[in-house]
Amino acid sequence: MIEWVNPGPDDILWVYPHEDIRWGSVVVVHEYEVAVFMRDGKVYDVLPPGRHMITTQNIPLLTKAYNLVMGYGETPFKARVVFVSTKQFRGRFGLSTRVKLGPRTLYMTELQMYGDYWFRVVDPVLFLTQIGGAVPSLTTPAVTEFLRSYFVELFMQEVSKYTAIDIYTNLRDVETKVKSSSIYEAFKSRGLELIDVKIAGVSLPQLEKMEKEDPTYGLPLLIAIQKGDEDKVLEIIRTVESLRALGRSPGVGVLGALVALPGLMQPITQPQQPQVQQPVKEEKPIIEKLRELKKMLDEGLITQEEYEKLKKELLEEFKRT
């Protein structure tokens, strides 16, 4: 008798350990299962729930293959029987990616998210055809790990379309849109139905750390993100960038937790030497500050009026040296 005995609650599939199958053998398929006959990686026949005796009638595709290859009547014949569960399964995910702070900001920060997703096999033939060649072995642990990695990869692509402000202020809406996005179709193309997705937690770890290390700007920035106040977010970033450009604030806490274009995150001033400063050595830092200001203007981080004002202050400072 060929039967999947006592499957575990998380078992997606099970392979019958013997490949020598005799005509007349009985296959028992329980509710929420199917038995799939395979040979050389190809799917032939699928038996629904019930008690089946292996004959030429209930496995016609496999019978035809044997007639063509080796002639009917050979027993035992070689075949692989894979039992696939069609019940609902729960998967868990956790991911870390980068997202923009808001639609109008150039800065990105780290986003961590975790939650659960539910799925089930709706097309066993497509499932085994698509999954069989993608996993090292047809075992539940291998398939589960593949599906988790596959889901996380797709989920990260979808989440990256949203900003930190979107996610914090419209989490349930983002959750609904992600569930019905390309992830659903991607699962369907592998014989799976994505039933539901629930985001259990979201965090901005670098900004939360910054909140403690640089409370002057860190705390207001995090609050502005959580409230969805992008104008306030832009105001804080521009303030910190302006102070850094003038050498009045290192801005390590705020800007160190963000990622912008190359060059914007680097310290502007050179380390101070113990000897007396020479005027000629101040020329390079001033030039770098001017270049940084121009980049900020080009990228929309400061207005033209702010640019002109800061540039004037830098040039006056240069003249005094």
Q: What is the pLDDT of residues 209-240, one digit of tens each?
A: 776 766 676 677 777 777 778 888 778 777 77
Q: Which residues pair with 42 in a beta bridge?
A: 39
50, 85, 120 - which closes a domain? 85
Per residue in 112-161, pLDDT tens? 999 999 999 999 999 999 987 788 888 999 999 999 999 999 998 888 88
Residue that wins the pLDDT comparison between 239 and 53 = 53
Which of 164, 183, 203 lies at the terminal end of a domain, its last residue? 203
- In this structure, the answer to whether residues 214 and 196 fall within a common structural domain is no
Cα–Cα distance, 14 to 299 (Å, whole number):
56
Residue 109 maps to a domain? yes
Q: What's the rounded mean pLDDT across residues 188-203?
A: 93
Among the three residues 48, 63, 85, which one is the final residue of a domain in this structure? 85
Stronger pLDDT, 78 or 119, i.e. the higher one: 119
**Same domain as 178, residue 211:** no
pTM value? 0.69
How far apart, in whole angstroms, are the C-alpha atoms of residue 269 and residue 314? 13
Which parts of 11-101 are beta strand (E)? 13-15, 20-21, 26-29, 33-39, 42-47, 50-53, 77-78, 80-85, 89-100
User: Which of 12-16, 45-49, 203-207 is the least confident region?
Assistant: 203-207
Kindly give the residue spans of alpha helices, DSSP state H, lying in 137-271.
Answer: 140-159, 164-169, 171-179, 182-188, 205-213, 215-227, 230-245, 252-255
Question: Is the residue at 272 inside a domain?
Answer: no
307 and 252 share one domain: yes
Per-residue tokens: 110: 């780290």
Helix 230-245 to helix 215-227 angle (10° resolution) is 150
In a domain, 28, yes or no: yes
3-state secondary structure of 82: strand
Query: In angstroms, rounded to a whole number, what is the distance separating the alpha carbons of residues 107 and 261?
Result: 8
The residue segments making up the domain with residue 233 are 206-262+279-320
Please tell me whether residues 150 and 74 are part of one structural domain.
no
Question: Does 172 share its domain with 151?
Answer: yes
Same domain, 215 and 304: yes
In a domain, 248, yes or no: yes
Q: What's the structural domain count of the chain?
A: 3
